[in-house]
Structure 1
Amino acid sequence: MTHQPPQLRTVQVIRYVTPLREGGSLPAIVEADDDFMYVLKFRGSGQGVKALIAELIAGELARVLGLRIPEIVFAELDEAFGRTEPDEEIQDLLRASEGLNLALHYLSGAITYDPLVTTLDARLASQIVWLDALITNVDRTARNTNMLMWHRELWLIDHGASFFFHHAWDHWEEKARSPFVLIKDHVLLPQATELDAVDAEYRTLLTTEQLQAIVSLIPDDWLTVESPFASAQEHRQAYVQFLTTRLAHSSIFVKAAQDAREARI
């Protein structure tokens, strides 16, 4: 069963609660004007809007595939918001992030997934490995699983390191057809024994229309920052083309994952 990509809500950030210093980009827990708490990813952080684009595309792809992702929203940061922040580093980050940012619903009380405590079934493990190979997610290792257990269910978080090719866009058409060699470090790879079945299912779910709907959510001004493309629309279409090409050649990254799994076990 697929889930249609939503039109993302936009919230106004009204209170900076606390930084989450685990990440290099200093995400933070904030309160918004809808009375909910969010993990805010800042456009002014080191990786800039590209990390937000990766977070948005990867998260909504996962949602369409039926995996659990906290709700993603656009978060508006007012220019006056950082004036009372005493920490200079955080104040600089807030000033550099005025305007539209990205946030995910804060899963209060969630705990980090520990593979030594919780074993996932082969199907779910295969689904997550397949997704991460598609989006070239380098950040789902035993050292940093980027998964949470919340109400006894597994939730995926932190996809800003995905699509690492888009920091330069060099030879991206060729990279769309490449295996993802870093899948060898994936925390769930040993359990991912159903990659062929998942591949057959997921390739039918991710239609070109689905991909275009997800990529259309990216705000124009995120696509014009240091962009190698002539327009936001051309930039969007490159993301769609990368994903459609990668899906058409999914057997390449599936075989690479299977080979890596055999070598690992």
Structure 2
Amino acid sequence: MRKQIAAANWKMNLTIHQAKELAENIINAPIDLKPDQLVVLGVPFPYLAPIQKVVGDKAGFYVAAQNLSNKKNGAFTGEVSAEMLQSLGIQYVIIGHSERREYYNETNGVLAEKLNIALEYGLTPIFCCGEPLYIREEERQNAFVAEQLKESLYHLSAEDVSKIVIAYEPIWAIGTGKTASSEQAQEIQAFIRSELTTKYGAEVSESIPVLYGGSVKANNAVELFGQKDVDGGLVGGASLIATEFIAIINSLKA
């Protein structure tokens, strides 16, 4: 059975005190994770080690970086390498979030390089894809997402691509309060899986978790996660509120 994942993306928010308090509230909450369920906290770079310490060896809980460099090392001031993350014991990294694409001009080619280096250092990428509003309005979302997959993923072997988590995020639903309907989420996530099946075969595609990311909240998580091809969520704003995120975790498919 595919992993069911509740992944938090705290983005550029919280002080270290607030971050520790939030993590502690989540870690200490009455959450009964099944063997195929896990929680990933995507925290700002300065908080990786402190939050890793809070999480400790709590079963099913992990810390993720929100980004990494496409370079191994060198004179790249302000960048963070895969090796640095590995040395901290970090196991997950978010790659290709729409904000990185939009604000920092990260192309599909650059993201392919980031995937390569993450996998080389044993990190599990949470690879984000998804369309902006004008693409959705023109009903070209399938072709748009297919191109993202092709240019960033399809150079990978079946073995390597099976190590990746995919997060579909309709950009028009991030931070806007708009949410794709459960039917819309299922439709495009089934399409993503069908594209992976065409490229890598059913066995590989059926093993890859595909998350939904776009205004996931406690009051819509059960319906979204109940869809056949929705394997959890990449959660932004709601992950900053302990009670909300705990309810989202508890909404994962049993």
- Note whether the superposition's TM-score is higher than 0.5: no
Question: When the two structures are superposed, what TM-score results if normalisation uses the length of structure 1?
Answer: 0.29
TM-score between both structures, scaled by the size of structure 2? 0.30
